[in-house]
Amino acid sequence: MPIPLILFQGNEVYGTFPFNPDSLSNKYHLVIVSKPYIQLIADVTLLKPDFTYADSTGKFPKEYSDRNLLSYYVPRNISIVKYLQQQTWVSTKQLVIAGHSEGSTIATKMAVELKNATHLIYSGGNPTGRILSIIEQNRAYETDTDSTRYGEDNINYWADIVANKNDMNSSKGDTYKATFEFSEPMITYLEKLKIPVLVTYGTKDWSSPYIDLLRVNTIRQNKSNFTFKAYIATDHNFFPLTNDNQPDYNIFNWDKVANDWLKWLNGD
C-alpha cells in the first residue's frame, strides 16, 4: 500500500518496521525501501484511515500506480543493494533478503537475481500467487455463499485480468498489470534456490494452505535448505484470532517473529 515510511501524530512517531528492530540492527544494517512517489514522512491526520496517501482527488498518485509493479520493484531494489554494497561501511559477507506479504514475492525474485544473496526470509507470502490469496480469503470465511459467490466473482475477475494483463487503469486500486505480475507463482523460483530459506507464516492466514503445499514439496524433494516456522492459530500478521475470526490486536507477535528470524540467521 502507498503508506509513508515514517508516520507521526503530534509528538508521537510511529515505528517504521512492524517489529522492534534493535536486536537485528546489532548485527545487520536494516534497509527498508519506500513506495515510489509517496512522501517519506507524513502526519497521520492527513492520511486515509488505513494510513495510505492519496492526492487531492482522493486517489493514489498516478506516479505511484504506474510503478506499483513487480517488474519495477525488483530491479529498483537490486540497484539499491548494489549501490549500498559499494560503500566501505557495508560488509559483503552476508546479504539477507527479507519480505513479508507482497514483499515476499519481491524478495524471492531478488534472491534469484542477486547471485551474492546469502539468505532469504519469505514471510506471509503465497507461493502460488496473489490471486489465489484473494480467492481463498473469500472462500475461507463466511462471506462466500450461494447468493454472494464472491469466490466465483474473483475467478471471473482473474479471467478479465489475464485478458487485459497490461491494463494500467488504477481507478479501482491496483492495476490489472500489478495483480497479474504479483500473481506469478513463486513456488518454482523458491524450489530452485540453493541458499538457506526461512518461511514464516500464520496458520490462519488465507495463504497458509499454499505455504503448506510448498512445505510438503520441499520435504518430498529432500531439500535441506528450507526451514519453516508456523505460528499456530495466527493470521496474516501473526495476530491470534478471536472466536468470531477477528484479529486479537492485544496479542502482538511481530517481535517474536523478528527474534526468530535472528535466531535462524545465527544458526540457533
- Tens of pLDDT, residues 125-154: 999 999 999 998 887 665 656 656 778 889
Interacting residues of 262 by C-beta distance below 8 A, sequence separation 6+: 23, 24, 27
What gap in Å lies between CA 133 and CA 135, rounded to an integer? 5
86: cell is: 559499494
pLDDT at 268 (0 to 100): 80
Span 175-186, average pLDDT: 96
Q: Output the nine-digit C-alpha cell for 94.
A: 552476508
Kindly tell me if the per-residue pLDDT of 78 is higher than 80: yes
β-pair type (6-9, 12-13):
antiparallel
Chain Cα centroid distance, residue 88: 30
> In angstroms, rounded to a whole number, what is the distance separating the alpha carbons of residues 211 and 194?
18
| pLDDT on residue 201 | 98
Residue 92: its pLDDT value, please? 87
Cα gap 171→123, rounded to integer Å: 29
Q: Please name the fold of domain 26-34+61-265.
A: Rossmann fold (3.40.50)
- 62 close to 68: Cβ distance less than 8 angstroms: no
Average pLDDT over residues 180-208: 96
- DSSP class of 128: T
Sole residue written with cell 507461493:
127
Q: Pairing mode, if any, of strands 197-202 and 226-231?
A: parallel
Where are the chain's structural domains? 1-25+35-60, 26-34+61-265
All three cell numbers of 264: 535462524
* Cα separation, 39 vs 29, whole angstroms: 23
Question: What average pLDDT does the segment 82-86 reach?
Answer: 95
User: pLDDT band at 106, cuts 50/70/90?
Assistant: very high
